[in-house]
Structure 1
Amino acid sequence: MKFYKPKPRSILSFDVGIKRIGLAYCDPLCITSNILPAVKRVEDNKELKIIRNHIKKFNLTGFIVGLPLDEKGKMTPQAIDCMNYGQLLSNELKLPFSYVNEHSSTWESSNRFGIKKDKSGLIDSFAAKVILEQWIKEGPELEELAGKGQIKY
């Protein structure tokens, strides 16, 4: 499947983990990307308040969620959890979104940014930055409606 560079817009990127969610965002022209502090994943999804505040503060118009697929591009248990969280975000935030294959984004961020043995969530946010940079280069375009036409892995 071939993807094409998406149209520029301010995007929030999610690296969803079991304990934390790494966050990064880009400017409306997709020129610069910045990390935000990772948020702790809590019961009842109380982290959504923090996420909504970031969306409002930075005037973000869409989001992407990384899916940690395996080497063959197949779904993993963590990818299923990320997909479910993406659907929750879509239902709650009512913004266009897409999934991005984030295979090895944590490994890449560790090597690229020199982060080792991190428990603060910094590596998660840098992984979200890697996912965002990949999306800026390759897409796919965001979907305007929750779940409609999303890539099926």
Structure 2
Amino acid sequence: MISSFKLVLGFDYGTRQIGVAVGQPVTGQARELCILKAQNGVPDWSKVESLLKEWQPDALVVGLPLNMDGTSSEMSTRAEKFARRLNGRFNLPVYTYDERLTTYEAKGVRLAQGQRDGYRERPVDALAAAMLLEGWLTAQAETVKPEPPQENA
């Protein structure tokens, strides 16, 4: 499954903006791509379509902002709905991935880079998308381990 993927887009879902990242399973790395504006969690679908036409991903990953105890939150329910809409509109495989604390971690990265505030001017959503996508790529690579060679008896 993932071994046939060349390119994957990741989405950090939010009600006002959605971070987007691009990653490659072969390298296990992802990078920030852009931030899509959203109105109450609904993006401009024509912009999503343009991104998909430009990048031609094999699959999409949507982060699920679960509660710290692993239970669903209102936002994770909305993110799941967004994932279903992506699948329904664009007929691509869509996976969800636990993205607890990625926005917090992304803010930590920006803080280490010298950003003290101003997350509205320089949002972290695309960086959070890259972090969750790298997490998903790593998890997929760990589940697809090659079998050790069999010794002939």
Question: Which of the five TM-score ranges fits, normalised by the shorter chain?
Answer: 0.7 to 0.9
Residue 49 of structure 2: aligned partner: 52
For the residues of structure 2 that align with 1:95 and 1:13, how far apart are their CA atoms?
13
Match of 1:40 among 19, 37, 41: 37
User: Which one has more relative contact order, counting CA pairs under 8 Å at least 6 apart?
Assistant: 1
Quote the offset at 1:45 in angstroms.
4.5
Q: How does 1:1-80 map to 2 (within 5 A)?
A: 6-7=2-3, 8-27=5-24, 29-42=26-39, 45=42, 47-80=44-77
- Determine if contact 2:16/2:41 at 8 Å carries over to the other structure: no
Per the normalisation by structure 2, the TM-score is 0.79
Question: How many residue pairs were aligned?
Answer: 136
**Structure 1 residues 87-119: Cα deviation after superposition (integer angstroms, max 9, x where no partner):** 111100100111000000100111123354311
Moved more, 19-28 or 77-86: 19-28
TM-superposed deviation, 1:28: 5.7
- Structure 1's 21 and 96: CA in aligned 2 closer, same or farther, altered over 3 A? same
| Partner residue in 2 for 1:109 | 106
| TM-score, structure 1 normalization | 0.79
Distance in 1 between the 2:17 and 2:101 partners?
A: 17
Consecutive unaligned residues of structure 1, counting only runs of 5 or more, are 141-153
After superposition, the CA RMSD in angstroms is 2.4
Residue range with higher mean Cα deviation, 17-26 or 29-38: 29-38
Measure the CA separation in 2 of the matches of 1:126 and 1:29.
Answer: 20
Larger Rg: 2
Per-residue CA deviations over 1:45-72 (Å, capped at 9, x if unaligned) read 4522111211221221110000000111
Does the residue aligned with 1:22 lie in a helix, a strand or coil? strand
User: For residues 5-42 of structure 1, what are the alpha-carbon distances to aligned partners after superposition, in whole Å with 9 as ceiling and x for unaligned?
Assistant: 94343111000101000000113624442212201113
Q: Which runs of 5+ in 2 are unaligned?
A: 142-153
